[in-house]
A and B are shown apart, each in its own frame.
Chain A
Amino acid sequence: MTDVPPVKDWTSDWDHLDARWREDPYPIWDELREKCPIAHTDRYLGAYLPTRYEDVRAIAQDTEHFSSRRVIVRNVRPEPVIPTPPITSDPPHHKPMKRLLLPPFTVAEMEKLEPKARAICNELIDAFIADGSCDAAQQYTRHIPVKVIAHMLGVPDSDSDLFIRCIHEVLELGITDDEMLNKGLTDMTMYFMEKVAERKANPQDDLISRLMVAEVDGQKMDDDHLLGMLRLVLIAGIDTTWSGIGSSLWHLAKTPADRDRLVAEPELIANAVEEFLRAYSPVTMAREVVKETEVGGCPIKTGNMILLSFPAANRDPDMFPDPDKVIIDRQENRHAAFGLGIHRCVGSNLARLEMNVAVEEWLKRIPKFELSGKVQWSEGTVRGPRALPITFG
């Protein structure tokens, strides 16, 4: 965990690394939405925090004033920025890069992965089901996305630990530690350079090979862009869904009525997953203010970052009736868990597949379970359980 000076006033000195935010951010956002819907802090070289849905939406859709060249609120803003396209791309460069990456992540492509995802979940459950207890975050949810991504990339399962370490360095430690950020990014780059070189000699039927030959307007990517895109697939596809699955199981472990209902009505799981995505959205993005403007009546000055809290937007009572209630059969749910506007998460279909399959397979094998200890939450850009002690049977 990162130690930061405790926050005294959330409206003028907020800090997303404060221990209270890590433990339970929702009351903080509720208070800000009422008192100061666009809060500012001088920490992180200056940053705003919008908490209303409509403001988050307006910023996400405004690529003229808000750039994606930096998507993490950090203590330092190194130049040059190491690109991980298309998440760090702005128009007009964004669209061609995104079009290279989208086709392997369509619903139809994800359907082909489903049997593999189910097999991964069941192998993980096999390893602990006889124990009557587990740390679901470390023994189950952690391994699902990374194993599925390794399968897609065409690399060995055993590289999972390397991926998880690099991502921890980039997304958590890297917020305050430049060296860690660079180490994580460099290790990933070196890793993919080797994999790309192998495939240049010997092309495979996998995502790396597919992106190597993908073309938009008759153009392939150069190596820098290709390596950046491969880093993005890792950074964006692992902690995020690990968190999403973990929060879903955490909810079900502490809410027996919802757990029993989904066991009895598995056809409701997909709808429940959308509600978990809304109520416990894992991902907070960021933008850099590149042109002075106004949002929700507040002046927004250049040089500041925006912490773009989709999780806070998803708890806005003006958008969602009873936003703090988790209603697994909620019918109208325009949640923004995968972002809004041109940067909609490329992997949203993959995340949904993994969350649905992970919850379905768990409930089939372990229909009764409960929390048995303290949950430990990650911090920073992605929120989810990193320790989730559960007993069953």
Chain B
Amino acid sequence: MKIKVDPDKCQGHNRCKAIAPPLFDLDEYGNASEANGGAVPPEWEEKARLAVANCPEFAIEIIEE
């Protein structure tokens, strides 16, 4: 599984970072981007789905491989 944050949609709510800290990086304005090129270790897949489902801006996408 991989994830992708749309930088035009993200408004820095930081819900993803709270739910799945290792999967996201934050910049100095609090906007998120996918960490490690979007790679999701298998043990974080459920949290990745929750991060997607809790993003108020619908900014995160899962890319199944």
A321 within 8 Å of B (CB atoms): no
Residues of chain B contacted by A340 (CB below 8 angstroms)? 11, 56-57
Sorted from nearest, which 6 A-B pairs have the closest CB atoms?
Answer: A344-B11, A332-B53, A102-B29, A106-B30, A103-B28, A334-B56
How many chain A residues touch the partner (CB < 8 A)?
23
Q: Which residue of A lies closest to B28 (CB)?
A: A103
User: A99-B29, A106-B28, A270-B18 are known contacts. Are A344 and B54 too (CB-CB below 8 A)?
Assistant: no
Out of A99, A334, A341, A349, which one reaches B14, CB within 8 Å?
A349
A342 within 8 A of B: yes
Residues of A within 8 A of B (CB): 98-99, 102-103, 105-108, 270, 274, 331-336, 338, 340-342, 344, 348-349
Binding site for A on B (CB under 8 A): 11-14, 17-18, 26, 28-30, 50, 53-58
Are A348 and B50 closer than 8 Å at their CB atoms? no
* Residues A102 and B30 in contact, CB atoms below 8 Å apart: yes
> Is the CB–CB distance between A107 and B14 below 8 Å?
yes
- Which B residues are in CB contact (< 8 Å) with A334? 53-56, 58
Q: A98-B29, A274-B54 are in contact. List 11 more A-B contacts (CB 8 A).
A: A102-B28, A102-B30, A332-B53, A332-B54, A334-B54, A334-B55, A340-B56, A341-B57, A342-B11, A344-B11, A349-B30
Among B13, B17, B30, the residue within 8 A (CB) of A105 is B30
Complex CA distance for A334 and B15, rounded to whole angstroms = 9
From residue A91, how far is it (CB to closest CB) to chain B in Å? Answer: 13
Q: How far is the CB of B50 from chain A (nearest CB, A)?
A: 6
Residue of B nearest to A342 (CB): B11
Given contacts A102-B28, A340-B56, contact A332 B13 (CB under 8 A): no
Give chain A residues whose Cβ lies under 8 Å from the Cβ of B18: 270
- Per the bound structure, the CA–CA distance linking A332 and B57 in Å amounts to 14
CA distance A47 to B44 in the complex (A): 46
The residue on B at minimum CB distance from A103 is B28
Given contacts A332-B50, A335-B56, contact A106 B13 (CB under 8 A): no
Q: How far is the CB of B63 from chain A (nearest CB, A)?
A: 20
Contact A102 B12 (CB under 8 A): yes
Query: Bound complex: CA of A332 vs CA of B26, how far in Å?
Result: 22
